[in-house]
Amino acid sequence: MTALNELSLRETVARVRRREVSATEVTRAALARIAAVEPALGAFLTVCEPQALAAAAAVDRALAAGEDPGPLAGAAVALKDNICTAGIRTTAGSRMLERFVPAYDATVAARLRAAGAVLVGKCNLDEFAMGSSTENSALGVTRNPWDPERVPGGSSGGSAAAVAACECHAALGTDTGGSIRLPAGFCGVVGLKPTYGRVSRFGVIAYASSLDQVGPIARDVADAALVLAAIAGPDPRDATSAPHPLPPLDGLDGPVRGLRLGLPREYFVEGMQPAVETAVRAAVRVLEGLGAVVEPVSLPHTEHAVATYYLVATAEASSNLARYDGVRYGLRVPAASLGEMYEATRAAGFGAEVTRRIMLGTYVLSKGYYDAWYLKAQQVRTLIRRDFEAAFARCDALVTPVAPTTAFRRGERLADPLTMYLSDIFTISVNLAGLPALVLPCGVDEAGLPIGLQIVGRPFDEPTVLRTAAAYEGATDWHARRPPG
């Protein structure tokens, strides 16, 4: 019999709702799994045992009283630790917020609670979501469940590792340049970055506001869709949340016959790991076998995406992180004057990568450099968007690898920041264009490490992305593989 923590989210919810198992039993199973694997894995920064058991008891009471406990009743979920939770510390993986306890819930946290989900903990991340390996966390090391010497990807590495290791049924991550999709790919799970504006960012600690988006990480496509449905939709407290309601996601098992899929030639590059290209091309053939029509497309400005992203994102970060000054919350290093207090606090609170990005962003926004760097990047961003518009005039979705390689070794890309930035080469264009994209497992390399397939859709067309992914998943069994232990 499958253990409760290993069941799919929807099967868990169905059993809880039928009262075959209590939410409390499900929660205890998740907490036991966390206790067993965390010493070696390190996916969590905070485990909320008492709060989780109280939330589970509330679900059980609601069911006993004949009330509807919600569409995620009893599911064990985790949040990336840049998503605010009332009364539970929220660190962003930074010394700056190591002891910060929010006074309110992020909208996505409140919506998960309202749907009956049980929050079991807060997951590790690169400091302020800046990184591609979770190695930039100031507060802990997260390992890849498939190989402890490899990174889980980043920045939502804790969320992806926790889901892959069955410590929870699903988790939320945030994705500014690939931070949901890269760790989902490296850990062999499903990760969805929704369209910019689809999900509220209220209460999510900001990194780059024109790019940040919250989304689900789960063990299969249908579970990811269920979590998306619970968190999506307009929010009066986030002026950038779009008014469009999420269309019903009940047609996910529909056919993909006749669907036009584009294969961007710029995403099959010199130097990529051969096993990745082989697996992704095989996945494309599976989709063709299901009746999809595949054609080559070109996104000619792809080669400029990394530069464009790291100029736009760091500029926005330098502004967003100006708020950490030691005055109202978070770390304060006392000093004789206000100016010295700011500088001492920020020097002590920010790690090396965050400092580097604030410096780069401040530089490109500063007098004399703004037009040459920041404005130029914003113009190239327009060209990158137009590339996608042209491709989507002919195609319903695009299919690509999530990254040129599988999970890399810990420490391997720390010496040169640029090498780390290039890990995001296949994910960042999607953020610059604001598009929805999903990653799901489509194979393994010679070392047994998962390979991720990325499916990119038109703005607000998550249904087509999910349907394509569900069709692939239904024809293969890569999603059913679990890491050892």
Partner 1 sequence: MAITHDEVRRVAALARLRLAPEAVARLAADLSHILDAFTRLQAVDTAGIPPTAHAEELALSLRPDEVTNPPADEALLAGAPDRRGRCFRVPRIIE
Name residues whose C-beta falls within 8 Å of residue 327's C-beta, 6 or more positions apart in sequence: none
Q: How far is the CB of 425 from partner 1 (least distance, A)?
A: 12
Q: How far is the CB of 247 from partner 1 (least distance, A)?
A: 17
Q: How far is the CB of 344 from partner 1 (least distance, A)?
A: 6
Output the six-digit token pair for 57. 């008891």
The residue from 327, 447, 475, 480 that contacts partner 1 (CB under 8 A) is: 327
DSSP E strands: which ranges in 358-449?
397-401, 437-444
Q: How far is the CB of 415 from partner 1 (least distance, A)?
A: 11
Name residues contacting partner 1, limited to 236-265 (CB under 8 A).
236, 239-240, 242-243
The residue (of 125 and 430) whose beta carbon lies closer to partner 1 is: 430
The residue from 245, 247, 298, 379 that contacts partner 1 (CB under 8 A) is: 379
How far lies 72's CA from each of 15, 63, 231, 245, in Å?
Answer: 11, 13, 11, 19
Cis upstream peptide for 179 (omega within 30°): no
The residue (of 1 and 418) whose beta carbon lies closer to partner 1 is: 418
The residue (of 416 and 477) whose beta carbon lies closer to partner 1 is: 416
Name residues contacting partner 1, limited to 387-426 (CB under 8 A).
416-418, 421
What is d(CA 56, CA 23) in angstroms, rounded to the nearest whole number? Answer: 5
What is d(CA 83, CA 478) in angstroms, rounded to the nearest whole number? Answer: 30
Name residues contacting partner 1, limited to 55-114 (CB under 8 A).
100-101, 103-104
Q: Active-site residue among 179, 200, 241, 423?
A: 179
What is d(CA 153, CA 142) in angstroms, rounded to the nearest whole number? Answer: 9
Q: How far is the CB of 358 from partner 1 (least distance, A)?
A: 5
The residue (of 32 and 365) whose beta carbon lies closer to partner 1 is: 365
CA-only gyration radius of the chain, Å:
21
Name residues whose C-beta falls within 8 Å of residue 23's C-beta, 6 or more positions apart in sequence: 16, 55, 56, 57, 59, 60, 63, 69, 73, 74, 116, 118
Name residues contacting partner 1, limited to 141-170 (CB under 8 A).
none
- The region of 139-147, 166-174, 225-233, 341-349 touching partner 1 under the rule CB under 8 A is 341-349
Please confirm, yes or no, whether 155 is among the known catalytic residues. yes
**Which 8-state DSSP code applies to residue 261?**
E
The residue (of 252 and 433) whose beta carbon lies closer to partner 1 is: 433
Residue corresponding to tokens 């051969």: 274
| Of 184, 179, 38, 190, the residue nearest 121 (C-alpha) | 38
Using CB under 8 A as the binding rule, whether residue 370 contacts partner 1 is answered as no
Name residues contacting partner 1, limited to 303-322 (CB under 8 A).
303-304, 307-308, 310-311, 318, 322
Q: Active-site residue among 94, 155, 156, 241?
A: 155
Name residues contacting partner 1, limited to 260-289 (CB under 8 A).
none
What is d(CA 229, CA 166) in angstroms, rounded to the nearest whole number? Answer: 22
> Are the CB atoms for 104 and 88 separated by under 8 Å?
no
Using CB under 8 A as the binding rule, whether residue 441 contacts partner 1 is answered as no
The residue (of 12 and 320) whose beta carbon lies closer to partner 1 is: 320
Q: How far is the CB of 350 from partner 1 (least distance, A)?
A: 7
- The region of 288-296, 366-374, 464-472, 475-483 touching partner 1 under the rule CB under 8 A is 366-374
Beta strands 293-297 and 397-401, pairing class:
unpaired
Q: How far is the CB of 239 from partner 1 (least distance, A)?
A: 5
Per-residue binding string, partner 1, 187-226, x by CB under 8 A, is --------xxx------------xx---------------
DSSP E strands: which ranges in 435-474?
437-444, 450-457
Positive or negative, the CA dihedral 469, 473, 476, 478 is positive
Q: Active-site residue among 80, 137, 318, 429?
A: 80
**Active site members:** 80, 155, 179
